[in-house]
Structure formats: C-alpha cells, structure tokens
Structure 1
Amino acid sequence: MYKLIAIDIDDTLINDDKEVTPATQQALEQAVAKGTVVTLATGRAYASAQAIARQTGLNVPIITYQGALVKNLMDEKVLYERYVPVEAARKLHDYCIEHNLHLQTYIDDKLYARELNQHLIDYTTLNRTQYYIEPDFAKLMELPTPKMLIIDDPAFLDELQPILRELLGDSVHITKSKPEFLEIMHKEGTKGAALTFLANHFGCDLKDTIAVGDSWNDHEMLEAAGLGVAMGNAIEPLKAIANYITASNNEDGVKEVIEKFILNPEQASV
C-alpha cells in the first residue's frame, strides 16, 4: 500500500485555469481519509504553495522551492532547508549583471528583483505573487536564499545551463520548472532529496511513495519514489523515465492516480 504521495502543483494538480477541480479535490480527501499522507512538491515559494495546500485541506509538511524548503502547514515549523551557497549566489549575481539577465531571489519567502520588467510582471501575474524591488541587489546575495531564478528565452536558457554549471560548480542544483524558468538551488535542494526526507520523517519506505509531475524539475522525485508518475501533458523526457503515465492536468490525471493506486490498489497494474 502506498503511504505517501507527493504531487507537483503547476500543470499537474491544477488545470490550465489554475484550479483544483472538485473531482480531484474529492480524490485528495479520500486518500487522506484512507490514511495516506498527501503532500505537494513544487518549485513555488512556500507563501504561494501554502495557499493552494490550505485550499485543498492539507495539513502536512509541503515541499517548496524545488525541495530546498520543507515546512509544516499547521505550525509553519521548518523541517528541512538548504540555501544557495553565498559564493555561488555572488557569482550568479555578477554574471547576470554583466550579461544583463533577469535574476530574482527569495528572502524570508519574499520575492526580490533588481528592477521592474516584463519578466517580473509576467511571473508574478502567473503565480499571483507579490514582489519587491531592491536596487542594491548585491547585498541580498549575502542573505539566506532557497532559490534564485533566471527568466529568459527557453533556447537561450538551454545554452546558458552548462555555462552556469561550470561557473557555479557542484555546490548547486540547476533545473527548469518551465521552459523559460532556470532555477538555481543548493545541491540538495531537489524534490527527490525532499521526498526522501519526508519519507523518513513519516517512517515510510521510499518504495511505498508515489511522485506525480509534468516537468524536468520533477525527475529526481519520480526516480526516488516507488511509483513515478508523469502527467499526460508532461514533457517527453519525464514520460520516458516514469513508471506510469496518467491523464493530463485538464483531465483529472491526479484523481486517476489516486483512484488507481491508493483507493483501489487491488485493481492497479502499471
């Protein structure tokens, strides 16, 4: 029996209208009633993710910032946190200034950028996030941050990724949550590391966990989980490593997973 399921938010739990459908909501509640730990695993900031978690009635720790922060919903106690190393943050800042790239960071769960531009407007509109402008952006590099984010053209970011890997070294984890979002965390700030931590926290074997996602930033948790599930709308590389492919986020794919593997496991076959 699966004891824990970790679900990505964007393009996974929520549909293209940014909603959790009543059918999926009911499935979440049924899974919880059966004793399964249902949690979220997202690249979003805690402030953004917790609003969705509370709407869906969850009261467990949730995985945020790609796995760099695991925090209780009830008392907001931090269970797991990994910050971008200061030296890496400084190097990334200097590189982005030199090449005129949009970089944003998160301090105390607040989003900061150096200046207001269309990238920031589009991002905060998409995630319904408040932002703060800090002209003296360099000083923020000295403060603990779970995630830094570059927004740009997807093809350009694909070229930039290996450059930053060489520049920043193996102290950081670099991934994409969307084609235009390149995200930089501590090397242990992955959804896979956070899922492993949560499984231990709940005394649950990893083989008894399910992970559901749609994008490449989900691959570590799909590989760590006993059952890795890709959404029908997932990118092809994620589908290639998944144990199971469910329906899309607009077709209640999460509901299908819960019904098949948690509510009716005797009928399940991968």
Structure 2
Amino acid sequence: MYKLIAIDIDDTLINDQKEVTPATQQALEAAVAKGVVVTLATGRAYASAHKIARQTGLNVPIITYQGALVKNLLDEKVLYERYVPLVAARRLYEFCLERNLHLQTYIDDKLYTREDNQKIKDYTALNNTEYFVEPVFSKVIEQPTPKLLIIDEPEVLDELIPELRELLGSEVHITKSKPHFLEIMHHEGTKGHALAFLANHFGCDLSETIAIGDSWNDHEMLECAGLGIAMGNAIPDLKKLADYITTSNNEDGVKHAIDKFVLNV
C-alpha cells in the first residue's frame, strides 16, 4: 500500500487554466481520508506553492524550490533547507553579468531581479508573483538563497548547462523546470532528496511512495519513488523513465493515478 504521494503543481496538479478541478480535488481528499499523506513537490517558491496547498486542503509539509526547502503548512516550520553555496552563487552572478543573461533569485521567499524586463514580467505572470528590482544585484547574491534562475531560449540554456556544470562544480544541482527556465540549487536541493527526507519524516519506506510530474526537474523524485508516474503531457524523456503514464493535466491525470494506485477504483 502506498503511504505518501508527492505531486508537482504546474502542468501536473493544475490544468492549463491554472485550476485544480473538482474531480482531482475529490481524489486528493479521498486519498487523505484513506490515511495517505499527500504533498506537493514544486519548483515554485513556498509563498506561491502554499496558496495552492491550502486551497486543496492539505496540511502537511510541502516541497518547494525544487526540493531546497521543505516547510510545514500549519506552523511554517522549516524541516529541510539547502542553500546555493555562496562561492557558486558569486561565480554564476559574474558569468551572467559577462554574458548579459537574465538572472533572478529568491531571498526570504521574495523574488529579486537585476532589471525590470519582459522576462521577469512573463515569469511572474505565470503564477501571479510579486517581484523586486535590485540594480546592485551583488548585494542580493551575498544572501542565502534556495534557488537561482536563468531565463532564456531553450537552445541557449542547453548550451549553457555543460559550461555551468564545469564552472560551478558538483556542489550545485542544475535542472530545467520548463524549456525557458534553468534553475540552480544546492546539490541536495532536488525533489528526490526532499521526497526521501519526507518519507523518513513520516516513517515510510521509499517503496511506499508515489511521485507524479511532467518536467525534467521531476525525474529525481520519479526515480527514487516506489512508483514514478509521468503525466500524459510530460516531456518524452520523463515518460521513458516513468513506471506508469497517466492522462494529461487537462484530463485529470492526477485523479486517474490516485484512483488506480491508491483508491483501487
């Protein structure tokens, strides 16, 4: 029997209208009523993720910033936190400055950008996030952050990945959450690390966990979960490593997965 389910938010739990449908909501509630821990695992900031978690009635710790922060919903106690190493953050900042790349970061759950441009406007429009412009970005870089993010064309980011891996070293984790978003965290700031932490926290084995996602930043948790489920709209590489492929986020894919593997209906 599965005891813990970790669900990605964007393009997984919510449909293209940014909604959790009533059918999916009922499935979540039925799983919780059966004694299963249902949590969210997202690249979003806690401030953004907790709104959706509360809307869906969840009251457990949630995984945010790709796994760099696990925080209780009830008392907002931090259970797991991994900051980007300062040396790596400084190197990344200098690199982006030289290449004129858009870099943004989160400090104390607030989003900061070096300049006000279309990239930050488009990014914040996705989940209605407030942002702050800090022209002297070196001040921001010196502060602890769970995640730094570069926004650019997918092919540009693909070329940057090997360069950044060499520049920043093994202490950081680099992943794409969406084609235009390249995210840099602590090497233990992955959804997989966070899922393993929560499984231990709730006293269950990883074989008793389910992970559901759609993007490459979900692959660590799908690989470490007892059952890794890719959405019907997931990227092909994620589908290849998944144990099961459900329907899309616009076809209540999360509900179908819960019905099949948790509620047995």
Q: TM-score, normalised by structure 2?
A: 0.99
3-state SS in 2 of match to 1:184: strand
Q: How does 1:30-109 map to 2 (within 5 A)?
A: 30-109=30-109
Q: CA deviation at 1:38?
A: 0.1
Aligned residue in 2 for 1:167: 167
Residue aligning to 1:220: 220
What displacement does 1:60 show? Answer: 0.2
Taking the aligned partners of 1:26 and 1:144, their CA distance within structure 2 comes to 38
Equivalent pairs, count:
265
Name the SS of the counterpart of 1:161 in structure 2. Answer: helix
Q: Given the alignment of the two structures, is residue 233 of structure 1 paired with residue 211 of structure 2, yes or no?
A: no
Q: Distance in 2 between matches of 1:143 and 1:176?
A: 23
CA deviation profile, 1:183-204 (whole Å, cap 9, x unmatched): 0000000000000000000000
- SS of the residue corresponding to residue 88 of structure 2 reads helix
Separation of aligned partners in 2, 1:176 and 1:213: 13
Q: Deviations over 1:107-156 (max 9, x none)?
A: 00000001100000000001210000111100111111000000000011
- Identical positions, percent: 78
Distance 1:48 1:152 in 2: 22
Task: Specify the SS of the correspondent of 2:232.
Answer: coil
Structure 1 runs not aligned, ≥5 long? none
Cα deviation, residue 84, structure 1: 0.1
C-alpha separation between the residues in 1 aligned to 2:238 and 2:28? 23
Correspondence for 1:5 = 5
Aligned to 1:258: 258
**Where do 4+ consecutive residues of structure 1 move more than 2 Å?**
none
Equivalents in 2 of 1:132, 1:97: separation in Å?
18
Cα distance per residue 1:181-226 (max 9 Å; x no partner):
0000000000000000000000000000000000000000000000
1:26 matched to 2:26: yes
Cα deviation digits, residues 70-102 of structure 1 (max 9, x gap) = 000000000000000000000000000111000
**Where does structure 2 lack aligned partners over 5 or more consecutive residues?**
none
Normalised by the length of structure 1, the TM-score is 0.98
Say what the alpha-carbon RMSD is for the aligned residues. Answer: 0.6
